[in-house]
A and B are shown apart, each in its own frame.
Chain A
């Protein structure tokens, strides 16, 4: 069965360190998204990609970067981790040809920056 996975599931890091969160999907979807989820804010879009070599900034992109070298993966990098980036991060993918825009979400990565 097709799926979307994230790793690690939990991560504790120190302020100032570079951190990379992995996202891998086997749906063969062109569209991939990264969100962060915080209490009171719901899901906020960090970066998104519509295909290989395409990346776009979302509403909360400062301090984050992504790269898309293949269809299956969209890693999210925190250049220099800050305590404000403590959050739960979700990766999602969708089929641009589908009418419904349904996004399939991974299980999330819980990141703590100390």
Chain B
């Protein structure tokens, strides 16, 4: 079983829809949670970053972390065609001193105009 599970999609939605992307994880030592966005043939870029449980909002994007359920989500409101990309969740232990990230496999999102 992978440490981080993510539905690969593809997920196709109409423009303006609310999108929900999710990851589950098994390592209870993960403390920092991130969402990266990756456009086709590009490197990933950090979109959202949260520490421990709770919500964080940035414009049309909201990241949620539920450590008790080992479940994280990214919501995109009023989705735009420019949001079409692969979204990767990533997690970090930090306390071990290991600053490397563990990534989910990514969900491909297509927003139809």
- Taking the complex as formed, is B32 at the interface, i.e. its CB lies under 8 A from any CB of chain A? yes
Chain A: interface residue total (CB-CB under 8 A): 24
Within the complex, which residue of B46, B49, B92, B104 is in contact with A42, where a contact is CB–CB below 8 Å?
Answer: B104
Q: Which residues of B contact A100 (CB under 8 A)?
A: 32, 34, 46, 49
Q: Cβ of B8 and Cβ of A43 under 8 Å apart?
A: no
B99 to chain A minimum Cβ distance, whole angstroms, is 6
Q: Which residues of A contact B6 (CB under 8 A)?
A: 42
Q: Which residues of A contact B105 (CB under 8 A)?
A: 40-42
Within the complex, which residue of A44, A90, A101 is in contact with B99, where a contact is CB–CB below 8 Å?
Answer: A101
Interface residues of A in 65-95 (CB under 8 A from B): 90, 92, 94
- Taking the complex as formed, is A50 at the interface, i.e. its CB lies under 8 A from any CB of chain B? yes
Interface size class of B (residues with CB under 8 A): 20 to 34
A41-B105, A42-B105, A101-B32 known; A50-B99 Cβ under 8 A:
yes
A102-B49, A108-B43 known; A45-B100 Cβ under 8 A:
yes
Q: Cβ of A101 and Cβ of B103 under 8 Å apart?
A: no
- Taking the complex as formed, is A114 at the interface, i.e. its CB lies under 8 A from any CB of chain B? no
A105 to B34, CA, bound (A): 14
Binding site for B on A (CB under 8 A): 31, 33, 35, 40-45, 48, 50, 58, 90, 92, 94, 96, 100-103, 105-108
Binding site for A on B (CB under 8 A): 4, 6, 8, 32, 34, 41-46, 49, 88, 90, 92, 94, 99-106
